[in-house]
Structure 1
Amino acid sequence: MKICVKCRENFTDDSNFCPFDGTKLEIPDDPWVGKIINSRYQIVEKLTEGGMGKIYRGLQLYPEREVAIKILPPERLKEKTFKERFMREGMAVAMIRHEHIIEIFDAGETDEGIPYIVMEFLHGNSLEDELLKGPLSVKRAVSILIDICEALGPVHAMGIIHRDLKPGNIFLVKINRKDRNGRNEKNNGNEGDEDEEFVKVLDFGIAFLRDQPRLTDKNLVVGTPEYIAPEIVLGGKILPQSDLYSLGCIGYEMLCGSLPLGSGNPAEVVLKHVNEKPVPLQNMNPDIPPELCKIIMRLLEKDPKKRYPDAYVLIKAFYDLGLVKKTEIEIETKTEAEKMELPVEKKSILSNRMMPSLSLTSSHKRWEEFLATTKDLSNEIGKSLELINEMETLTAKLTKIEKEQFAMGKEIEKIDFEGSESISRLRHALNALAMEISEKKSIFMETKSRLDELNSMALMEEREVKKMLQDKELIQDEGERISYGIMSKLEKISRNWISIYEKIREEESIKDKLQNEISDLDYQISQIRQRMESIEAETLQKKKGFEEKIKYLEEEKKKVKERLSTLSSIFGRNVK
């Protein structure tokens, strides 16, 4: 197969020049470039390569949009765990649909059985690239941390732990505030800026999913050494606080330009996370507000229980610093009629393009234009008339096929839109419930702390009474009667003891009520999660028939295009 690097059309190996623009055809260095996956995604160029696969810039054909495509390296197919982990990324992210998490459009396997994931195409820089320039300003660092927390809140509520948060998996894009919410709004105190920095969390390839089988041995350390939580190193329980530890490492690095425990030999670095304390952030950069330093250092506690309990509490702590303004997120509501109506033009939040946009011209239009330019030549060259007639017939067939594919694509787009809207509404509900749980858990912990204090006080009073009753010197010799003073003291202690136990019963009642409310909210979240999974499965099932039809049409289209390519080559030789 040869491709035209200008229009990206594929041609047979016997063709040398593109009939549309005269560009010399090339055999791509990468065998994936130019291929069409699942009859819907054309691979345009390789962008990068990592441990979890190659990432390509691509074009979704039906409906048309620019995408990024991650493909599992074929040599890793033999590793069952690796393949399952790769597919888990698609499963983990697809249901979340959060503005601060890269969107997954599709996941599946090629005809050769190689897994792929189709994602939104991001224009911008990774946080890793930004940190090469040096530390960030305090306000910018806090804004980025808040955005990451806003992603982690619902992710953790869904029972998903990222496990590999690091600057390389945090992507920064510039968007117009009007594009974000359809209205101009203030963003984190930067009132004069038309554009705002927007965070996207990437790469859930090694994410831990609650209620899913563990893919890695407990003795195998998974993650990036410089950002890994101590409990993961020790093979302990994977917790939301594990991600918050990694976030602390990121925050530390953003604010002072250095990693909390350095880099180097991976084995040595992971042991440092277990055994060594980082240099206090305030010592690294005295200009950082002390309260912010306390937040970051608390995130870096070795004991998960000493860190923040969840991302929602952490968001509040960041906003309480007063360094950035809180942006209220409005939950859009739609009427039943509006829910069924597709937008005429769906704006991407990624409005600033740093690469040339891809042309979306359909193949049949190119062939129609090509035939229009050959009319005069065919009149002069009689032997080409038959070729032209066949090419016109094939082009008409190609037009019909592509129009059918486009119609199928619009149906898929409609199904995706409806599924996405349903999941988005459920995610908002889940997020609200998770925030409520976070608040109630905070109250629960405060209540528990008061109970511990009251129980300690009651125990002290009991010990005092026992001590008094056991002290023989306090008992009078005459008839062994207890003195009035001792009785008065006992009465006072008893009153205190009764008062304390009344408070204990009151706090126990509050604690039990909170526990029941938290359990009820947990149940509601589990029901929402199940419904989201159900909607995702229903959406995939609804799309299946249309996707199979597109695939069948693509095979027909391939035959037509191959014949057109051959005929155009013959026509070119005749003209010469």
Structure 2
Amino acid sequence: MRASVAPMRVPPRRSVGTQRDRNAPGRGAVVRMCPVCHLTYHEGEERCLVDGADLEEVEDERIGTVLGGRYVLEEVLGEGGMATVYRARHNLVDRPCAVKILHPELSKDATLRERLRREARSAAAISHPNVVEIYDFGETPSGEPYLVMELLDGVSLRALVGEPMALDQVVDLGTQIAAGLARAHDLGVVHRDLKPENVFVVQSDEGPLVKLVDFGLAYARRESRLTATGQIVGTPPYMAPERFKTADVTAAADLYALGILLYEMAAGRLPFDSNNVAGFVLAHLEDVPPRLEGVPAGLADLVADLLKKKPEERPVDAHQVAQRLSRLRAGRQKTELKITTRRSLPRVLVTLDRWVGRIPVYEELLRRAYPDGAPAELEEHLAEMRAALARLRTLRNVAMEAQRELEELEAETVATRERLGHAVHVLAVDLSASRAAAKRLADSMSELEDAAAEHAVDWRTADAQLARLREPGGTPGEAEVHAARRAQAALEAWHDSAVGLAERAGRLRAAEDRERDLSFQVEALRKRLERVEAEFDEEAEASRGRLADNGVERRKLEMRIVWLASKVSAPLRDRPELRSLFDRIEAA
């Protein structure tokens, strides 16, 4: 058996997806940024007009822009087929976050726009430690939908599955994946695209923490489907057999994908291998996966159960999977996982506080440069800077108040989500136990039915041997005596089986009644949570709108201040006696 404790491999980070060619058709003009103050410039400028630093070219024209009046885009984290993900910062509360923006060429597709909206709603409603947290959703000024989520600092599971992982790592991460799926399924959300790229592993105080991401293909039972009939949406190596037969996808499909993940984590390879989609389809539909070797029987059995071809033969739900994995984890030493924290970028420095500190320096700059009085135009520029800063201060206070209102509403909604989520979890665990009990009873009844049928055949066979005794003058011989004994034994066994079937049928009805009752309660909580989400969206919309409008005006004022500062600085920057003042401006 493989040793249970081994160092976890943490490869260097790589951007998700492929980088877009900067010269590709449709890409905007090259953007340059000041490395000191983070102001952005387009082609034609070589130095920052404020602090004189040489500009650096950035790969994406969105860098430095502000979305929703609050989210400043700082760098590209990764790019996929549907969207680009940026590292960003909430400029009112100084909180790092990630912003996912749908590609412009896809933004006109109503289906894809709805898919991103669904990802925001699905993940936000789940509210679970093992599911990425969604903060906000909106549209860029040019109409591309975006969502704002927690910034995950770690690696995807894809980076860890190139070779067999240590057993404790497989069990620990697998338990967390199952827990995240359990909460999603409890709320009626099926992920539909569970794969290593959509499982992120980050470092927490308690150790490795799994975050399920990309619910863009998720299907909630309350919502209409987005795929056309016959269209396959997902990743073939991880898709359950029924995904290729019907559009009616259930939580069991996610469990099958989890089985593939556990197999790949434990073995370092997929259970099925193919170089084309058709090969994977046939393998999922027809081939029996090889049994995992070199792992405890409990893990091999669980993976085999998860990879059953028929959904009803898999574990009843993700709660049961998490419980079985937890039993394997008990008493095992955990592997330490160290993930290097991504370098924190400097804050965007075009802020109110920075410019308030610069004004006295600009005043001194004009006094030194023009002892007899500065030109009227420069004095007017400086006066306008003061007025703009006063207006900017007022706008920021208004924005902070709107942000506080929104945060209070968010905190109340999060608390309600957590309370309802906990209630759903408690009921769902009981529901899982009821389902498992009902399944065990149904399986045992099937065995009893088979046994009863065998006893009936035995009785009829023995009874047929006694047929001649019913004829006139028939007398029993040794064979008839043995046949009578066999008939009696078969009849008693048949009777016992019938009694057992009746007793278990009653227990099964009781279990099914309890399952229906628990399902009703869970569904009621789901609907209540849906109402909470709808009410939050409605109430938050006004605050978001005010913040967005406020942010647009603040951004215009900031750019105006920069322009005014450049006009004041330009004629004076090359004077050596003023160098110390410009150094103070840059350091402010």
Change (3 A) 1:478 1:81: same
Q: In the alignment, what sits opposite 1:306?
A: 313
| Alpha-carbon separation, structure 2, partners of 1:497 and 1:265 | 53
Structure-to-structure mapping, 1:100-249, within 5 angstroms: 100-132=130-162, 134-177=163-206, 196-235=207-246, 237-249=248-260
Conserved 8 A contact 1:12-1:566: no
2:359 is aligned with 1:379: no
Q: Quote the offset at 1:499 in angstroms.
A: 4.2
What is aligned with 2:68? Answer: 38
1-side partners of 2:312 and 2:572: how far apart? 79
The answer to whether the 8 Å contact 1:454/1:504 transfers is yes
Paired residues of 2:161 and 2:265 also in contact (CA < 8 A): yes
Alignment partners' CA distance in 2, 1:292 and 1:226? 21
TM-score between both structures, scaled by the size of structure 2? 0.82
Amino acid at match of 1:245: Y
Task: Please report how far the alpha carbon of residue 16 of structure 1 lies from its aligned counterpart in structure 2 after TM superposition.
Answer: 6.5
Contact 2:244 2:281 in 1 (8 A): yes
Change (3 A) 1:457 1:300: closer
SS of 2:261 mapped into structure 1: helix
Instruction: Deviation per CA, 1:335-370: give whole Å up to 9, x if none.
Output: xxxxxxxxxxxxxxx996322144266721121122
After TM superposition, the structure 1 = structure 2 runs for residues 461-480 of structure 1, keeping only pairs within 5 Å, are 461-463=455-457, 471-475=466-470, 477-478=472-473
> Helix, strand or coil: the match of 2:570?
helix
Distance in 2 of aligned mates of 1:300 and 1:214 = 25
Q: Partners in 2 of 1:27 and 1:479 — Cα distance?
A: 109
Separation (CA, whole Å) in 1 of partners of 2:315 and 2:140: 43
Change (3 A) 1:358 1:150: farther
Q: Is the 8 A contact 2:82 2:106 kept in 1?
A: no
Kindly state the Cα deviation for residue 89 of structure 1 after the two structures are TM-superposed: 1.1
Q: CA deviation at 1:144?
A: 0.9
Q: Structure 1, residues 460-508: CA drift from partner, whole Å, max 9, x if none?
A: 4555555566653132525999x99998887766655554433333222
Deviation (angstroms), 1:157: 1.6
What does the per-residue CA deviation read over 1:23-59, in whole Å, with 9 as the maximum and x for residues that have no partner?
3456754222222112121211112111221111111
Indicate the SS of the match to 2:126.
coil
RMSD of the alignment, in Å? 3.1
Q: 2:10 corresponds to which residue?
A: none
Distance 2:467 2:240 in 1: 57
Q: Which SS does the other structure have where 2:89 is aligned? A: strand
Q: How far off is 1:137 after superposition?
A: 0.9
Structure 1 unaligned segments of length 5 or more: list them.
Answer: 178-195, 328-349
Percent identity between matched residues is: 29
User: Contact 2:64–2:74 (CA<8 Å) still a contact in 1?
Assistant: yes
CA contact (8 A) 1:221 1:235 kept: no
Counterpart CA distance in 2 for 1:547 and 1:237 is 36
Q: Equivalent residue of 1:216, what SS?
A: coil
Superposition pairs for residues 546-565 of structure 1, below 5 Å? Answer: 546-565=543-562
Judge which range, 138-147 or 545-554, deviates more. Answer: 545-554
Give per-residue Cα distances to partners, 1:269-308, cap 9 Å, x unaligned: 33222233333321xxxx3233322322332232323322
The question of 1:85 aligning with 2:115 is answered yes
Q: Quick check: 2:459–2:486 contact (8 Å CA) kept in 1? A: no
Contact kept? 1:63, 1:413, Cα under 8 Å: no
Shift of residue 94 of structure 1? 1.1
Cα distance change of structure 1 residues 226 and 572 upon mapping to structure 2, 3 Å threshold: same
Please give the secondary structure, in 1, of the residue aligned with 2:88. Answer: strand
What is the CA–CA distance in structure 2 between the aligned matches of 1:461 and 1:252, rounded to whole Å? 42
TM-score, reference length from structure 1: 0.84
Q: Are 2:85 and 2:100, in contact at CA under 8 Å, matched by a contact in 1?
A: yes
Equivalence for 1:365: 353
1:56 aligns with 2:86: yes
1:4 is matched with: 34
User: Residue type matched to 2:219 in 1?
Assistant: F
- Comparing 558-567 with 457-466, greater Cα deviation is found at 457-466
Q: Bigger shift: 71-80 or 455-464?
A: 455-464
User: Which residue does the alignment assign to 1:430?
Assistant: 424
Contact kept, 8 Å, 1:90 with 1:117, in 2: the verdict is: yes
Work out whether residues 168 and 329 of structure 2, in 8 Å CA contact, stay in contact via their aligned partners in 1. Answer: no
Q: Give me the whole-angstrom Cα distance separating, in 1, the residues matched to 2:38 and 2:46.
A: 14
**Are 1:316 and 2:313 matched, yes or no?**
no
Amino acid at match of 1:176: D
- Structure 2 residues not aligned, in runs of 5+: 1-30, 574-588
Distance 1:21 1:570 in 2: 12
Q: Which residue of structure 2 lines up, in the alignment, with residue 268 of structure 1?
A: 279
Whole-angstrom distance in 2 between the partners of 1:321 and 1:559? 59
